[in-house]
Amino acid sequence: MDRLRMYIGGAWTDSSSNEVITTINPATIEALATFPRGNKDDVDRAVKAARAAFESKEWREILPAERGRLLLRLCQLIRQQKDELAHLETLDTGKPLSQAQADVEVAARYCEYYAGVADKILGETIPIRADILNYTLREPLGVTAHIVPWNYPIQIAVRSLAPAVAAGNTVVMKPAEDTPMTALRIAELCERAGFPPGVVNIVTGYGAEAGAALASHPDIDHITFTGSVETGKTIMKTAAAQIKPVTLELGGKSPNIVFADADLDEAAHWVVRSITQNAGQTCSAGSRLLVEESIREEFVEKVTALMAGLRIGPGLDNADLGPIISEKQLERIESYMQVAAAEGATIRTGGRRHAEAGDGFFFQPTVIDGIAAEGRLAQEEIFGPVLVVLPFTTTEEALAIANGTEYGLVTGIWTSNIHKAHWLASRVKSGQVFINNYGAGGGVEMTFGGYRKSGFGREKGLEALKFYTQVKNVAVKVNG
Protein backbone atom coordinates (compact mmCIF):
# COMPACT_ATOMS: atom_id res chain seq x y z
CA MET A 1 0.00 0.00 0.00
CA ASP A 2 1.30 3.46 -0.92
CA ARG A 3 2.41 5.79 1.84
CA LEU A 4 1.54 9.25 0.51
CA ARG A 5 3.22 12.41 1.72
CA MET A 6 1.93 15.93 1.93
CA TYR A 7 3.43 18.92 0.16
CA ILE A 8 4.81 21.84 2.14
CA GLY A 9 7.16 24.53 0.88
CA GLY A 10 8.01 22.54 -2.23
CA ALA A 11 8.98 19.39 -0.26
CA TRP A 12 7.18 16.07 0.24
CA THR A 13 6.86 15.42 3.92
CA ASP A 14 5.32 13.28 6.66
CA SER A 15 3.48 14.83 9.56
CA SER A 16 5.66 15.96 12.48
CA SER A 17 4.03 13.22 14.59
CA ASN A 18 4.70 10.64 11.86
CA GLU A 19 1.11 9.45 12.28
CA VAL A 20 -0.91 8.37 9.26
CA ILE A 21 -4.55 7.92 8.26
CA THR A 22 -5.76 5.24 5.84
CA THR A 23 -8.02 6.10 2.95
CA ILE A 24 -10.35 3.39 1.69
CA ASN A 25 -12.28 2.57 -1.46
CA PRO A 26 -15.93 3.02 -0.42
CA ALA A 27 -17.04 0.51 -3.06
CA THR A 28 -15.03 -2.36 -1.56
CA ILE A 29 -13.89 -1.08 1.86
CA GLU A 30 -10.34 -1.97 0.84
CA ALA A 31 -7.49 0.24 2.02
CA LEU A 32 -6.01 2.32 -0.80
CA ALA A 33 -3.14 4.26 0.78
CA THR A 34 -2.00 5.97 3.93
CA PHE A 35 -1.42 9.68 4.15
CA PRO A 36 -0.07 11.98 6.88
CA ARG A 37 -2.21 12.96 9.84
CA GLY A 38 -1.28 16.64 9.67
CA ASN A 39 -1.43 18.64 12.87
CA LYS A 40 -1.04 22.18 14.15
CA ASP A 41 2.75 22.17 13.64
CA ASP A 42 2.40 20.96 10.07
CA VAL A 43 -0.22 23.63 9.34
CA ASP A 44 2.11 26.22 10.83
CA ARG A 45 4.95 25.04 8.58
CA ALA A 46 2.66 25.24 5.56
CA VAL A 47 1.38 28.73 6.39
CA LYS A 48 4.96 29.92 6.96
CA ALA A 49 5.98 28.48 3.59
CA ALA A 50 3.00 30.12 1.89
CA ARG A 51 3.79 33.44 3.59
CA ALA A 52 7.45 33.28 2.57
CA ALA A 53 6.43 32.51 -0.99
CA PHE A 54 3.90 35.34 -1.02
CA GLU A 55 6.48 37.86 0.23
CA SER A 56 9.25 36.57 -2.02
CA LYS A 57 10.55 38.82 -4.76
CA GLU A 58 10.01 35.98 -7.22
CA TRP A 59 6.25 35.83 -6.56
CA ARG A 60 5.61 39.52 -5.89
CA GLU A 61 7.25 40.49 -9.14
CA ILE A 62 6.06 37.63 -11.30
CA LEU A 63 4.33 38.86 -14.43
CA PRO A 64 0.58 38.30 -14.26
CA ALA A 65 0.85 36.56 -17.63
CA GLU A 66 3.42 34.18 -16.12
CA ARG A 67 0.93 33.22 -13.37
CA GLY A 68 -1.45 32.48 -16.22
CA ARG A 69 1.16 30.31 -17.93
CA LEU A 70 1.71 28.31 -14.73
CA LEU A 71 -2.02 27.58 -14.64
CA LEU A 72 -2.02 26.72 -18.31
CA ARG A 73 0.81 24.23 -17.77
CA LEU A 74 -1.14 22.76 -14.85
CA CYS A 75 -4.17 22.46 -17.13
CA GLN A 76 -2.10 20.62 -19.73
CA LEU A 77 -0.63 18.25 -17.14
CA ILE A 78 -4.09 17.49 -15.74
CA ARG A 79 -5.31 16.68 -19.26
CA GLN A 80 -2.23 14.53 -19.95
CA GLN A 81 -2.94 12.51 -16.80
CA LYS A 82 -6.70 12.57 -17.08
CA ASP A 83 -7.18 8.80 -17.11
CA GLU A 84 -4.99 8.24 -14.11
CA LEU A 85 -6.54 11.13 -12.16
CA ALA A 86 -10.07 9.91 -12.92
CA HIS A 87 -9.12 6.38 -11.88
CA LEU A 88 -7.70 7.67 -8.58
CA GLU A 89 -10.77 9.85 -7.96
CA THR A 90 -13.07 6.91 -8.59
CA LEU A 91 -11.11 4.67 -6.21
CA ASP A 92 -11.08 7.30 -3.47
CA THR A 93 -14.68 8.58 -3.77
CA GLY A 94 -16.45 5.59 -5.32
CA LYS A 95 -18.06 7.75 -8.00
CA PRO A 96 -18.65 6.30 -11.49
CA LEU A 97 -15.62 6.61 -13.73
CA SER A 98 -17.50 8.72 -16.28
CA GLN A 99 -18.32 11.26 -13.54
CA ALA A 100 -14.73 11.26 -12.30
CA GLN A 101 -13.57 11.86 -15.89
CA ALA A 102 -15.95 14.81 -16.14
CA ASP A 103 -14.64 16.15 -12.81
CA VAL A 104 -11.03 15.96 -14.03
CA GLU A 105 -11.93 17.85 -17.20
CA VAL A 106 -13.70 20.51 -15.10
CA ALA A 107 -10.54 20.84 -12.97
CA ALA A 108 -8.51 21.34 -16.17
CA ARG A 109 -11.05 23.91 -17.35
CA TYR A 110 -10.72 25.92 -14.11
CA CYS A 111 -6.99 26.19 -14.76
CA GLU A 112 -7.53 27.13 -18.38
CA TYR A 113 -10.24 29.67 -17.55
CA TYR A 114 -8.30 31.46 -14.80
CA ALA A 115 -5.05 31.24 -16.77
CA GLY A 116 -6.79 33.47 -19.28
CA VAL A 117 -7.77 36.11 -16.73
CA ALA A 118 -4.55 36.30 -14.69
CA ASP A 119 -3.38 39.33 -16.70
CA LYS A 120 -6.83 40.93 -16.94
CA ILE A 121 -7.53 41.66 -13.28
CA LEU A 122 -8.15 45.34 -13.69
CA GLY A 123 -8.55 48.37 -11.46
CA GLU A 124 -10.50 51.50 -12.31
CA THR A 125 -9.84 55.17 -12.71
CA ILE A 126 -12.41 57.20 -10.84
CA PRO A 127 -12.97 60.81 -11.89
CA ILE A 128 -12.83 63.18 -8.92
CA ARG A 129 -11.40 66.52 -9.98
CA ALA A 130 -8.82 67.87 -12.40
CA ASP A 131 -5.87 67.85 -9.99
CA ILE A 132 -6.47 64.39 -8.56
CA LEU A 133 -5.72 61.17 -10.38
CA ASN A 134 -7.68 58.52 -8.55
CA TYR A 135 -7.31 54.86 -9.35
CA THR A 136 -7.89 51.46 -7.78
CA LEU A 137 -5.65 48.41 -7.65
CA ARG A 138 -6.99 44.91 -7.26
CA GLU A 139 -4.37 43.26 -5.08
CA PRO A 140 -4.04 39.67 -3.88
CA LEU A 141 -5.10 38.92 -0.30
CA GLY A 142 -1.97 36.96 0.67
CA VAL A 143 -2.08 33.44 2.10
CA THR A 144 -5.40 31.79 1.32
CA ALA A 145 -6.70 28.73 3.19
CA HIS A 146 -8.81 26.18 1.30
CA ILE A 147 -10.80 23.50 3.13
CA VAL A 148 -12.15 20.99 0.66
CA PRO A 149 -14.91 18.36 1.06
CA TRP A 150 -14.98 14.74 -0.09
CA ASN A 151 -17.76 14.86 -2.66
CA TYR A 152 -15.88 16.52 -5.57
CA PRO A 153 -12.28 16.45 -4.33
CA ILE A 154 -10.38 17.37 -7.49
CA GLN A 155 -13.00 19.77 -8.84
CA ILE A 156 -13.44 21.75 -5.65
CA ALA A 157 -9.69 21.80 -4.91
CA VAL A 158 -8.90 23.38 -8.28
CA ARG A 159 -12.04 25.54 -8.28
CA SER A 160 -10.53 27.72 -5.57
CA LEU A 161 -6.81 27.10 -6.16
CA ALA A 162 -6.93 28.42 -9.74
CA PRO A 163 -8.51 31.85 -9.11
CA ALA A 164 -6.43 32.27 -5.94
CA VAL A 165 -3.19 31.73 -7.85
CA ALA A 166 -4.38 33.73 -10.88
CA ALA A 167 -4.90 36.71 -8.57
CA GLY A 168 -1.39 36.32 -7.06
CA ASN A 169 -2.19 34.65 -3.72
CA THR A 170 -0.50 31.63 -2.23
CA VAL A 171 -2.43 28.57 -1.09
CA VAL A 172 -2.62 26.21 1.87
CA MET A 173 -5.15 23.48 1.20
CA LYS A 174 -6.59 20.79 3.41
CA PRO A 175 -8.36 18.04 1.49
CA ALA A 176 -11.04 15.95 3.21
CA GLU A 177 -9.75 13.03 5.29
CA ASP A 178 -11.89 10.63 3.21
CA THR A 179 -10.44 11.70 -0.15
CA PRO A 180 -6.90 13.14 -0.12
CA MET A 181 -5.51 11.38 -3.19
CA THR A 182 -6.19 13.68 -6.13
CA ALA A 183 -5.33 16.88 -4.23
CA LEU A 184 -1.89 15.42 -3.52
CA ARG A 185 -1.55 14.53 -7.19
CA ILE A 186 -2.47 18.12 -8.10
CA ALA A 187 0.39 19.30 -5.87
CA GLU A 188 2.71 17.02 -7.82
CA LEU A 189 1.50 18.54 -11.07
CA CYS A 190 1.93 22.09 -9.67
CA GLU A 191 5.54 21.15 -8.91
CA ARG A 192 6.03 19.83 -12.45
CA ALA A 193 4.33 22.91 -13.91
CA GLY A 194 7.00 25.04 -12.22
CA PHE A 195 5.03 26.69 -9.41
CA PRO A 196 7.62 28.24 -7.06
CA PRO A 197 7.96 26.34 -3.74
CA GLY A 198 5.41 27.47 -1.16
CA VAL A 199 2.88 28.86 -3.64
CA VAL A 200 0.72 25.74 -3.28
CA ASN A 201 0.87 23.65 -0.09
CA ILE A 202 -1.28 20.67 0.83
CA VAL A 203 -1.71 19.56 4.44
CA THR A 204 -3.70 16.37 4.88
CA GLY A 205 -5.45 15.35 8.08
CA TYR A 206 -8.66 15.45 10.08
CA GLY A 207 -11.02 18.41 10.05
CA ALA A 208 -11.06 18.98 13.79
CA GLU A 209 -7.26 18.85 13.86
CA ALA A 210 -5.53 20.09 10.67
CA GLY A 211 -8.67 21.85 9.38
CA ALA A 212 -9.29 23.71 12.63
CA ALA A 213 -5.60 24.63 12.92
CA LEU A 214 -5.65 26.06 9.42
CA ALA A 215 -8.90 28.03 9.88
CA SER A 216 -7.60 29.55 13.12
CA HIS A 217 -4.04 30.25 12.01
CA PRO A 218 -3.32 33.95 12.65
CA ASP A 219 -1.29 34.37 9.47
CA ILE A 220 -3.85 33.38 6.86
CA ASP A 221 -5.73 36.11 5.00
CA HIS A 222 -8.83 34.31 3.74
CA ILE A 223 -10.67 31.00 4.16
CA THR A 224 -12.58 29.19 1.43
CA PHE A 225 -14.69 26.42 2.87
CA THR A 226 -17.09 23.96 1.25
CA GLY A 227 -18.94 21.50 3.45
CA SER A 228 -21.61 21.32 6.13
CA VAL A 229 -23.48 24.23 7.73
CA GLU A 230 -22.27 23.17 11.17
CA THR A 231 -18.58 23.23 10.22
CA GLY A 232 -19.22 26.44 8.26
CA LYS A 233 -20.51 28.08 11.43
CA THR A 234 -17.44 26.96 13.38
CA ILE A 235 -15.16 28.35 10.69
CA MET A 236 -17.03 31.62 10.56
CA LYS A 237 -16.75 32.04 14.32
CA THR A 238 -13.04 31.34 14.17
CA ALA A 239 -12.63 33.80 11.31
CA ALA A 240 -14.73 36.42 13.11
CA ALA A 241 -12.39 36.34 16.09
CA GLN A 242 -9.58 37.43 13.77
CA ILE A 243 -11.61 39.50 11.26
CA LYS A 244 -10.72 37.17 8.41
CA PRO A 245 -12.88 37.07 5.28
CA VAL A 246 -14.51 33.75 4.39
CA THR A 247 -16.19 32.22 1.39
CA LEU A 248 -18.66 29.56 2.49
CA GLU A 249 -20.39 27.04 0.25
CA LEU A 250 -22.65 24.98 2.46
CA GLY A 251 -24.97 22.88 0.37
CA GLY A 252 -28.70 23.07 -0.09
CA LYS A 253 -32.09 21.52 -0.57
CA SER A 254 -32.55 22.59 -4.15
CA PRO A 255 -35.93 22.26 -5.88
CA ASN A 256 -36.83 21.25 -9.41
CA ILE A 257 -40.21 22.91 -10.07
CA VAL A 258 -42.08 20.99 -12.77
CA PHE A 259 -45.19 22.47 -14.40
CA ALA A 260 -47.75 20.53 -16.45
CA ASP A 261 -46.75 22.45 -19.60
CA ALA A 262 -43.09 21.32 -19.46
CA ASP A 263 -41.44 18.73 -21.68
CA LEU A 264 -42.03 16.02 -19.09
CA ASP A 265 -39.62 13.43 -20.48
CA GLU A 266 -36.79 15.95 -20.53
CA ALA A 267 -37.72 17.21 -17.06
CA ALA A 268 -37.87 13.67 -15.64
CA HIS A 269 -34.43 12.87 -17.09
CA TRP A 270 -32.87 15.90 -15.39
CA VAL A 271 -34.77 15.51 -12.13
CA VAL A 272 -33.31 12.00 -11.85
CA ARG A 273 -29.86 13.05 -12.96
CA SER A 274 -29.71 15.98 -10.56
CA ILE A 275 -30.41 13.78 -7.52
CA THR A 276 -28.38 10.74 -8.54
CA GLN A 277 -25.18 12.33 -9.83
CA ASN A 278 -22.45 11.34 -7.39
CA ALA A 279 -25.13 9.29 -5.56
CA GLY A 280 -26.83 12.50 -4.46
CA GLN A 281 -23.75 13.71 -2.60
CA THR A 282 -23.75 17.03 -4.41
CA CYS A 283 -24.27 20.44 -2.81
CA SER A 284 -26.46 21.48 -5.74
CA ALA A 285 -28.39 18.18 -5.94
CA GLY A 286 -32.01 18.64 -6.99
CA SER A 287 -33.29 16.96 -3.85
CA ARG A 288 -36.86 18.31 -3.87
CA LEU A 289 -39.31 17.65 -6.70
CA LEU A 290 -42.05 20.28 -6.73
CA VAL A 291 -44.64 19.00 -9.18
CA GLU A 292 -47.90 20.52 -10.39
CA GLU A 293 -50.79 18.59 -8.87
CA SER A 294 -52.49 17.89 -12.23
CA ILE A 295 -49.52 15.80 -13.46
CA ARG A 296 -48.31 14.56 -10.10
CA GLU A 297 -49.10 10.88 -10.50
CA GLU A 298 -47.97 10.64 -14.12
CA PHE A 299 -44.72 12.50 -13.46
CA VAL A 300 -43.81 10.83 -10.19
CA GLU A 301 -44.37 7.45 -11.85
CA LYS A 302 -42.05 8.44 -14.69
CA VAL A 303 -39.34 9.57 -12.27
CA THR A 304 -39.80 6.52 -10.05
CA ALA A 305 -39.42 4.16 -13.03
CA LEU A 306 -36.21 5.91 -14.11
CA MET A 307 -34.80 5.84 -10.56
CA ALA A 308 -35.66 2.17 -10.11
CA GLY A 309 -33.93 1.33 -13.40
CA LEU A 310 -30.55 2.80 -12.46
CA ARG A 311 -27.56 0.50 -12.11
CA ILE A 312 -25.79 0.61 -8.75
CA GLY A 313 -22.21 -0.59 -8.45
CA PRO A 314 -18.54 0.23 -8.01
CA GLY A 315 -17.37 3.34 -9.80
CA LEU A 316 -14.83 1.38 -11.81
CA ASP A 317 -17.72 -0.60 -13.39
CA ASN A 318 -19.14 2.75 -14.45
CA ALA A 319 -22.57 2.05 -13.01
CA ASP A 320 -25.07 4.92 -12.79
CA LEU A 321 -24.59 5.21 -9.04
CA GLY A 322 -21.53 4.45 -6.97
CA PRO A 323 -21.39 4.01 -3.22
CA ILE A 324 -21.89 6.60 -0.49
CA ILE A 325 -18.57 7.92 0.77
CA SER A 326 -18.51 6.30 4.23
CA GLU A 327 -20.39 4.19 6.74
CA LYS A 328 -21.09 7.37 8.72
CA GLN A 329 -22.78 9.05 5.74
CA LEU A 330 -24.65 5.85 4.85
CA GLU A 331 -26.03 5.60 8.37
CA ARG A 332 -27.05 9.23 8.20
CA ILE A 333 -29.05 8.57 5.02
CA GLU A 334 -30.61 5.48 6.59
CA SER A 335 -31.68 7.51 9.60
CA TYR A 336 -33.83 9.61 7.26
CA MET A 337 -35.71 6.45 6.23
CA GLN A 338 -36.75 6.16 9.87
CA VAL A 339 -37.89 9.78 9.72
CA ALA A 340 -39.92 8.83 6.60
CA ALA A 341 -41.58 6.01 8.52
CA ALA A 342 -42.31 8.32 11.46
CA GLU A 343 -43.72 11.00 9.16
CA GLY A 344 -46.00 8.42 7.50
CA ALA A 345 -44.40 8.96 4.09
CA THR A 346 -44.66 6.61 1.11
CA ILE A 347 -41.40 5.24 -0.26
CA ARG A 348 -42.12 4.84 -3.99
CA THR A 349 -38.80 3.14 -4.72
CA GLY A 350 -35.55 2.39 -2.90
CA GLY A 351 -35.25 3.26 0.78
CA ARG A 352 -32.53 0.87 1.83
CA ARG A 353 -28.92 -0.24 1.49
CA HIS A 354 -28.02 -2.12 -1.66
CA ALA A 355 -25.90 -5.02 -0.43
CA GLU A 356 -26.30 -6.68 -3.85
CA ALA A 357 -23.65 -4.29 -5.23
CA GLY A 358 -20.93 -5.55 -2.88
CA ASP A 359 -19.39 -4.81 0.50
CA GLY A 360 -19.33 -1.05 -0.05
CA PHE A 361 -21.66 1.65 1.20
CA PHE A 362 -24.33 1.42 -1.49
CA PHE A 363 -27.78 2.97 -1.13
CA GLN A 364 -30.70 2.63 -3.49
CA PRO A 365 -32.05 5.58 -5.46
CA THR A 366 -35.08 6.57 -3.45
CA VAL A 367 -38.28 8.52 -4.08
CA ILE A 368 -40.36 9.60 -1.09
CA ASP A 369 -43.89 10.91 -1.50
CA GLY A 370 -46.61 12.00 0.90
CA ILE A 371 -44.54 14.25 3.15
CA ALA A 372 -45.16 17.66 4.69
CA ALA A 373 -43.29 20.67 3.26
CA GLU A 374 -42.35 21.68 6.81
CA GLY A 375 -41.11 18.19 7.83
CA ARG A 376 -37.47 17.18 8.19
CA LEU A 377 -37.38 15.21 4.92
CA ALA A 378 -38.41 18.31 2.99
CA GLN A 379 -36.17 20.66 4.95
CA GLU A 380 -32.85 18.94 5.69
CA GLU A 381 -30.00 18.10 3.36
CA ILE A 382 -29.90 14.29 3.24
CA PHE A 383 -26.85 14.12 0.95
CA GLY A 384 -27.76 10.86 -0.72
CA PRO A 385 -29.83 9.69 -3.72
CA VAL A 386 -33.09 10.56 -1.99
CA LEU A 387 -35.72 12.62 -3.80
CA VAL A 388 -38.75 14.00 -1.95
CA VAL A 389 -41.98 14.94 -3.75
CA LEU A 390 -43.97 18.07 -2.91
CA PRO A 391 -47.07 18.86 -5.01
CA PHE A 392 -48.35 22.39 -5.71
CA THR A 393 -51.39 23.84 -7.46
CA THR A 394 -50.48 27.47 -8.20
CA THR A 395 -47.26 29.21 -9.21
CA GLU A 396 -47.43 31.25 -6.00
CA GLU A 397 -47.61 28.06 -3.98
CA ALA A 398 -44.65 26.61 -5.90
CA LEU A 399 -42.67 29.75 -5.06
CA ALA A 400 -43.58 29.54 -1.37
CA ILE A 401 -42.49 25.90 -1.17
CA ALA A 402 -39.31 26.55 -3.19
CA ASN A 403 -38.34 29.36 -0.81
CA GLY A 404 -39.54 27.45 2.23
CA THR A 405 -36.22 26.04 3.47
CA GLU A 406 -33.21 27.67 5.10
CA TYR A 407 -31.13 27.02 1.99
CA GLY A 408 -30.87 28.73 -1.38
CA LEU A 409 -28.29 27.28 -3.76
CA VAL A 410 -29.97 26.23 -7.02
CA THR A 411 -33.49 26.18 -8.50
CA GLY A 412 -34.62 24.27 -11.58
CA ILE A 413 -37.76 25.51 -13.37
CA TRP A 414 -39.46 23.36 -16.01
CA THR A 415 -42.17 25.03 -18.09
CA SER A 416 -42.86 26.17 -21.65
CA ASN A 417 -44.33 29.43 -20.34
CA ILE A 418 -41.55 32.01 -20.42
CA HIS A 419 -43.54 34.51 -18.32
CA LYS A 420 -44.02 32.01 -15.51
CA ALA A 421 -40.38 30.99 -15.73
CA HIS A 422 -39.09 34.55 -15.41
CA TRP A 423 -41.59 35.46 -12.73
CA LEU A 424 -40.27 32.58 -10.63
CA ALA A 425 -36.61 33.15 -11.55
CA SER A 426 -36.83 36.70 -10.24
CA ARG A 427 -38.41 35.63 -6.94
CA VAL A 428 -36.70 32.41 -5.91
CA LYS A 429 -34.05 32.86 -3.25
CA SER A 430 -31.15 30.96 -4.76
CA GLY A 431 -27.76 31.74 -6.21
CA GLN A 432 -28.39 29.93 -9.49
CA VAL A 433 -31.57 29.36 -11.49
CA PHE A 434 -31.83 26.94 -14.41
CA ILE A 435 -34.82 27.14 -16.74
CA ASN A 436 -35.50 23.94 -18.70
CA ASN A 437 -32.05 22.59 -17.84
CA TYR A 438 -30.12 21.80 -14.69
CA GLY A 439 -26.42 22.39 -14.20
CA ALA A 440 -25.69 23.54 -17.76
CA GLY A 441 -22.73 21.19 -18.04
CA GLY A 442 -20.81 22.07 -14.90
CA GLY A 443 -20.43 25.74 -15.64
CA VAL A 444 -16.86 26.77 -14.82
CA GLU A 445 -17.80 30.18 -16.27
CA MET A 446 -21.03 30.66 -14.31
CA THR A 447 -21.27 32.44 -10.99
CA PHE A 448 -22.01 29.96 -8.22
CA GLY A 449 -22.87 30.38 -4.56
CA GLY A 450 -25.59 30.48 -1.99
CA TYR A 451 -28.36 32.62 -0.65
CA ARG A 452 -29.15 32.20 3.06
CA LYS A 453 -27.63 29.13 4.76
CA SER A 454 -26.20 27.85 1.50
CA GLY A 455 -23.40 30.30 2.20
CA PHE A 456 -21.95 33.49 0.81
CA GLY A 457 -19.20 34.68 -1.42
CA ARG A 458 -19.13 33.40 -4.97
CA GLU A 459 -17.13 30.73 -6.73
CA LYS A 460 -16.53 30.15 -10.45
CA GLY A 461 -16.51 32.62 -13.28
CA LEU A 462 -15.07 36.12 -13.08
CA GLU A 463 -17.06 36.81 -9.91
CA ALA A 464 -14.77 34.47 -7.91
CA LEU A 465 -11.81 36.79 -8.50
CA LYS A 466 -13.45 39.44 -6.35
CA PHE A 467 -13.13 37.10 -3.39
CA TYR A 468 -9.42 36.46 -3.91
CA THR A 469 -8.48 40.12 -4.25
CA GLN A 470 -8.82 43.28 -2.22
CA VAL A 471 -9.18 46.75 -3.62
CA LYS A 472 -6.83 49.60 -2.82
CA ASN A 473 -7.75 53.17 -3.72
CA VAL A 474 -4.90 55.52 -4.64
CA ALA A 475 -5.39 59.28 -5.01
CA VAL A 476 -2.52 61.28 -6.55
CA LYS A 477 -2.34 65.07 -6.40
CA VAL A 478 -1.24 66.23 -9.82
CA ASN A 479 0.18 69.73 -9.90
CA GLY A 480 -0.26 71.16 -13.34
In the complex, least distance from residue 253 CB atom to ligand NAD, rounded to whole angstroms:
10
| SS3 assignment for the chain | CEECCEEECCEEECCCCCCEEEEEECCCCEEEEEEECCCHHHHHHHHHHHHHHHHCHHHHCCCHHHHHHHHHHHHHHHHHCHHHHHHHHHHHHCCCHHHHHHHHHHHHHHHHHHHHHCCCCCCCECCCECCEEEEEEEEECCEEEEECCCCCHHHHHHHHHHHHHHCCCEEEEECCCCCCHHHHHHHHHHHHHCCCCCCEEECCCCHHHHHHHHHCCCCCCEEEEECCHHHHHHHHHHHHHCCCCEEEECCCCEEEEECCCCCHHHHHHHHHHHHHHHHHCCCCCEEEEEEEHHHHHHHHHHHHHHHHCCCECCHHHCCCECCCCCHHHHHHHHHHHHHHHHCCCEEEECCCECHHHCCCCCECCEEEECCCCCCHHHHCCCCCCEEEEEEECCHHHHHHHHCCCCCCCEEEEECCCHHHHHHHHHHCCCCEEEECCCCHHHCCCCCECCCHHHEECCECCCHHHHCCEEEEEEEEECCC
Residues 412-431, interacting with ligand NAD (CB under 6 A) = none
Identify which of residues 234 and 277 has a Cβ nearer to ligand NAD in the complex: 234
Q: Is 451 in the site for ligand NAD (CB under 6 A)?
A: no
Identify which of residues 68 and 251 has a Cβ nearer to ligand NAD in the complex: 251
Q: Round to whole Å and give the CA distance between 387 and 371.
A: 11
Is there a catalytic annotation at residue 190? no
Residues 45-74, interacting with ligand NAD (CB under 6 A) = none
Catalytic hit among 112, 249, 381, 459: 249
Identify which of residues 16 and 228 has a Cβ nearer to ligand NAD in the complex: 228
Identify which of residues 39 and 329 has a Cβ nearer to ligand NAD in the complex: 329
Is there a catalytic annotation at residue 327? no
Residues 154-193, interacting with ligand NAD (CB under 6 A) = 174, 176-177
Q: Is 144 in the site for ligand NAD (CB under 6 A)?
A: no
Q: Is 107 in the site for ligand NAD (CB under 6 A)?
A: no
Selected range binding ligand NAD among 29-37, 244-252, 392-400, 419-427, rule: CB under 6 A: 244-252
Selected range binding ligand NAD among 25-33, 84-92, 223-231, 412-420, rule: CB under 6 A: 223-231
Identify which of residues 231 and 430 has a Cβ nearer to ligand NAD in the complex: 231
Identify which of residues 38 and 391 has a Cβ nearer to ligand NAD in the complex: 38
Among 85, 215, 368, 401, binds ligand NAD (CB under 6 A): 215
Q: Is 231 in the site for ligand NAD (CB under 6 A)?
A: yes
Catalytic hit among 75, 111, 190, 283: 283
Q: Is 220 in the site for ligand NAD (CB under 6 A)?
A: no
Q: Is 385 in the site for ligand NAD (CB under 6 A)?
A: no
Identify which of residues 176 and 321 has a Cβ nearer to ligand NAD in the complex: 176
Q: Is 235 in the site for ligand NAD (CB under 6 A)?
A: yes
In the complex, least distance from residue 157 CB atom to ligand NAD, rounded to whole angstroms:
10
In the complex, least distance from residue 317 CB atom to ligand NAD, rounded to whole angstroms:
24
Q: Is 240 in the site for ligand NAD (CB under 6 A)?
A: no
Chain residues binding ligand NAD by CB under 6 A are 147-151, 174, 176-177, 207-208, 211-212, 215, 226-228, 231, 234-235, 249-251, 283, 329, 332, 381, 383
The set of catalytic residues is 249, 283
